[in-house]
Structure 1
Amino acid sequence: MPISSQQHAEIEQRLRQSRKDVMDAVADRIGGEAPSIAPATHTAQNEDMPQAEMISHNEEHYADHETTLLHEIDGALGRLETGGYGICVECGREIAPERLMATPTVQTCIPCQEMLEREQRRVNGPPPQI
């Protein structure tokens, strides 16, 4: 069952708000300037090189995370606009509206997501025991 027009409007509003929140967070974090993520950027005279590398690594990780999140949001918005929203990219079946409401950027139905996770565990092996 496809999503209702009310669900469509709610999901679109949530996605647009999420996009705005990410963009605002990035703008607040960088103060309107592009972040400096090169390895030696945070190294000044007499500064601790490992700490500078950690700061650069953290900024690079943050930038990668935010970029991925924006791509997911923009992709979901594009699918909403073109009518492809709610269709599993793996099997082509409809994704349950409850799943879409819980995670508006999701692209797979539950059975396909479970299959992808099993495949990922097979490739990567089991997680380390702590």
Structure 2
Amino acid sequence: MPPITPELSAEIGKRLRETRDDVLAAVRERTDSDAPEIAPNTHTFENEDRPQAEMISHNEEHLADHETALLHEIDVALGKLESGGYGICVECGREIPEARLLATPTVQTCIECQQQIEREQERRNGPPPTI
């Protein structure tokens, strides 16, 4: 039996494709100019505050990295959806609950495995800083 129903598969597929189209449209909008906003020194103009320009460029690079990672996650999820492996935790092989899949269609782990991953990361990196 497949891990998800055909109705859920159709809904998730629709959401993933719409999100992918939205991200690609945003990327195209930012990069369709003669000088993409992520190019070096794009935000440096005469008499401009250089640290501020560097910060803007850094933010643009970070956004581009995030969008690239998101597109990859969407493509992986779509591939699993088409091959029948969607909705199965990559860590333990159990089914991921429908509510979790609907909340985050690119998720690849069940809640228990994700919590374990986060505990291991915290052990390696130490606790998050308190503010």
2:105 counterpart SS class: coil
Contact 2:3 2:86 in 1 (8 A): no
Q: Which residue of 2 aligns with 1:21?
A: 22
2:36/2:42 contact within 8 Å kept: no
Shift of 1:26: 1.7
Alignment map for 1:75-94 (pairs within 5 Å): 75-94=76-95
- Matched residue, 1:62: 63
% of aligned pairs identical? 69
2:54 aligns with 53
Displacement of 1:32 in angstroms is 5.3
SS of the equivalent of 1:85 reads coil
- CA shift, 1:111, in A, is 0.7
Structure 1 unaligned segments of length 5 or more: list them. none
Matched residue type, 1:57: H
Supply the AA of the counterpart residue of 1:56. S
Between the aligned partners of 2:40 and 2:18, the Cα distance in structure 1 is 33
TM-score (norm 1): 0.90
Indicate the SS of the match to 2:54.
helix
- CA distance change for structure 1 residues 47 and 34 in 2, over 3 Å: closer, same or farther? closer
What is the SS of the residue equivalent to 2:109? coil
Query: In the alignment, which residue of structure 2 is the partner of 1:3?
Result: 4
Contact 1:12 1:80 in 2 (8 A): yes
- Counterpart Cα distance in 1 of 2:91 and 2:65: 25
Instruction: String of CA shifts for 1:17-47, please: whole Å, max 9, x gaps.
Output: 0101111122223345672434433223322
Kept after mapping to 2: 8 A contact 1:87/1:95: yes
Cα RMSD for the two superposed structures? 1.8
The corresponding residue for 1:109 is: 110
Gap regions ≥5 residues in structure 2: none
